[in-house]
Amino acid sequence: MIRTPLRRILAGTLALAAVALGLYGTLRYAGNRPNPACAASAAALPRLASAARGKVAAFQVASRAEPAPALGFAGPDGRRATLADFRGGTVLLNLWATWCEPCKREMPALDRLQSELGGPAFKVVAVNIDTRNLERPAAWLRDAGITALAFYSDREAKIFQDLRNAGETEGLPTTLLIGPDGCRLGRLAGWAEWASPDGLALVRAALP
């Protein structure tokens, strides 16, 4: 027969275990709960997981839709723009530089992607981060026949530092796909054939 004090100790231990289990379950559920601000992007993640293949198989679909980092850069008119300015449409945000050969290699594909799908619902935002020879990037785009992409730039390369601090990049080129609600859908490190059938299918899968 279990004596009364021991019985009380066992009962208390079981009660504490039950409370701990309940709290664990609650916290686990809360951690997996979709962010209400990213509902549109969350709905696109399963479609992207199926579309990330072939020429864009390296695209890493986000495990959970979360707001993208607050990023700023100069627009085509030289005025400050932010990523938030593009809310309402899906954005393919690309960081590039003229000293980065893989960046230049994928520019024509990004230009064709913008020509093919660009509009109110989708835009390629390619941000140049050259910090020297500041006239060179725009001249290179003209010489390369890049006509569909608007010229965005950050002459201090702060956008790269912000993305690196957020764990989104380690080098160039880097491309982020962002939903119309301003939430990240995934990223691709390195260059890709964005205008290939696989690339077009991936972007279309991101559209609402």
Computed over every residue of the chain, the mean pLDDT equals: 88
Question: Structurally, how many domains does the chain consist of?
Answer: 2
Q: What is the pLDDT of residue 170?
A: 86
Q: What is the pLDDT of residue 8?
A: 55
The two three-digit tokens of residue 207, written as one number: 């559209």
Q: What is the pLDDT of residue 13?
A: 43
Does residue 81 share a domain with residue 19? no
Does residue 3 share a domain with residue 88? no
Q: What is the pLDDT of residue 115?
A: 98
Does residue 26 share a domain with residue 15? yes
The two three-digit tokens of residue 161, written as one number: 């530092």
Which is more confident, 3 or 118? 118
The domain of 7 spans 1-33
Does residue 68 share a domain with residue 8? no
Does residue 18 share a domain with residue 110? no
CB neighbour list of residue 121: distance below 8 Å, 6 or more residues apart = 89, 90, 180, 207, 208
Does residue 171 share a domain with residue 146? yes
Which is more confident, 54 or 29? 54
Does residue 11 share a domain with residue 92? no
Q: What is the pTM of this model?
A: 0.83
CB neighbour list of residue 177: distance below 8 Å, 6 or more residues apart = 48, 59, 90, 91, 92, 93, 184, 185, 186, 187, 188, 202, 203, 206
Does residue 67 share a domain with residue 170? yes
Does residue 128 share a domain with residue 83? yes
Does residue 64 share a domain with residue 14? no
Does residue 26 share a domain with residue 121? no
CB neighbour list of residue 33: distance below 8 Å, 6 or more residues apart = none
Q: What is the pLDDT of residue 23?
A: 34
